Amino acid sequence: MQEEGVDALLLSVGPDLPYFTGYEAMPLERLTMLVVPRESDAVLVVPRLEAPRVEERPEVFCVDAWDEVDDPVARVAALVDGARSVAVGDHTWARFVLAMQSALPRAQFCAASHVTAPLRAVKDADEIEALYAAARSVDEIAIEMRERPFAGRTEREVHRELMERILDVGHERVNFAIVATGPNAASPHHDPADRVIAKGDVVLCDFGGTMHGYCSDITRMFAVGEPDAEVRDAYAALRVAQEAGVQSAQVGATYEAVDAAARDVLVGAGFGDAFVHRTGHGIGMEAHEDPYVVAGNTTELVAGHAFSIEPGVYLPGRFGLRLEDIVVATADGPRRLNDAPRDLAIVA
């Protein structure tokens, strides 16, 4: 906070609050807010009826429960009285931010992620272990999928099976299960539909959830029967691009250099225009969080950063391909958390 010139940090719904306190606020019209003044102790302002869910940690924060007739915004404003720079949690409801701005007319507001994102980006050993456990369990699903029949089923059926398996292997929550087949896969975040999978299709499966508070995210590709030469060539280039992205993820490199390492391979293979998104995103308590592997991000990789490397090739009207692993930057080089086979699996 000192480095960023922030006098008070206000955290409401979203992952910052559980990251620092272990308490996850319910997204309610009743305000929950952790007030962290730079020069004094942290206070969790919480609705009285939610207070029993708070695990008290007096060494970290004290609890200020408000009653139905109280004005929680006035309470927060009183706690940060005189603050000139206030950082407010990125997921805070706009109505509370607007009320807070009226209550503190002389304060400048900025996004709390200026303070919290660099802290959350560096994972400690327990967090990496949690990400690894989540990655291993989606690997298991990706491996099983190689033996499953695809032809004759709809995208929605495969999507439902993936969601069920994500929970079966120990996640508490499914975050997404993209199943995009044939030409639908040219839309990177296609919503599973009633399209029936047929021989000759390529199938993109991108899925993940939250396990013990940390996210998984993997993409693997399946071909129903032998793929044609065009698909094989594009997939070969994609694999080289993904490997180049992973290998370039060295401590001290910039995120834009990692993006370029993957992108240059696809540009060289003639698929530059077909790679329409950034190479990856940070992952932790959120499926997508800082740091982003994208041109223009000159942040350097630090040991403990965890992120996806997921180049793709999208050819509208024809097909789409993506390959994704979660990687952790370490002093000994990049460590992949996913280990399911990366070839284009031929399925029935």
Q: Which residues in this chain contact Zn ion in the complex, by CB under 5 A?
A: 206, 217, 219, 308, 324
CB of 342 to Zn ion, least distance (A): 14
Q: Note the Cα 311 to chain centre separation in Å.
A: 16
Which of 127/286 has CB closer to Zn ion?
286
Q: Which is nearer to Zn ion, 217 or 289 (CB)?
A: 217
Residues 6+ apart with CB under 8 A from 52: none
Pair 236, 255: CB distance under 8 Å: no
Q: What is the 3-state secondary structure (H, E, C) of 78-126?
A: HHCCCCCEEEECCCCCHHHHHHHHHHCCCCEEEECHHHHHHHHHECCHH
Q: Which neighbouring-strand residues pair with 11? A: 34
Q: Which is nearer to Zn ion, 100 or 202 (CB)?
A: 202
What minimum distance in Å lies between the beta carbon of 340 and Zn ion? Answer: 13
Measured from the CB atom, is 72 or 312 closer to Zn ion?
A: 312
- Helix (H/G/I), strand (E/B), else coil: 299: coil
Among residues 150, 141, 145, 202, the alpha carbon closest in space to that of 174 is found at 141
The token pair at 195 is 């399209």
DSSP letter string, 240-297? HHHHHHHHT--TT-BHHHHHHHHHHHHHHTT-GGG--S-SEEE-SSSSSEEEEE-TT-
Token couple for 248: 């370039």
Return the number of the residue (289 or 324) whose C-beta is nearest Zn ion. Answer: 324
Q: Which is nearer to Zn ion, 88 or 281 (CB)?
A: 281
Nearer to Zn ion, 57 or 335 (CB): 335
Query: Is residue 176 classed exposed, middle or buried when 0-12, 13-18 and 19+ CB atoms within 10 A define those classes?
Result: middle
Nearest approach, Cβ of residue 308 and Zn ion (Å):
4
For 182: left if phi > 0, alpha if psi spans -120 to 50, otherwise beta; the answer is left
**Residue 286 or 324: which CB sits closer to Zn ion?**
324
Supply the minimum distance, in Å, between the C-beta of residue 104 and Zn ion: 37
Shortest reach from residue 72's CB to Zn ion, in Å: 36
Smallest gap from Cβ 120 to Zn ion, in A, equals 17
Backbone angles phi, psi at 139, to 5 degrees: -55, -45
CB-based contacts of 155: which residues, under 8 Å, 6+ apart?
179, 180, 181, 184, 192, 193, 194, 195, 197
| Under 8 Å between Cβ of 26 and 18 | no
Least distance in angstroms from the C-beta of 310 to Zn ion:
5
- Residue number with CB closer to Zn ion (188 or 304): 188
Q: How far is the CB of 195 from Zn ion (least distance, A)?
A: 20
Least Å distance, CB 156 to Zn ion, is 19
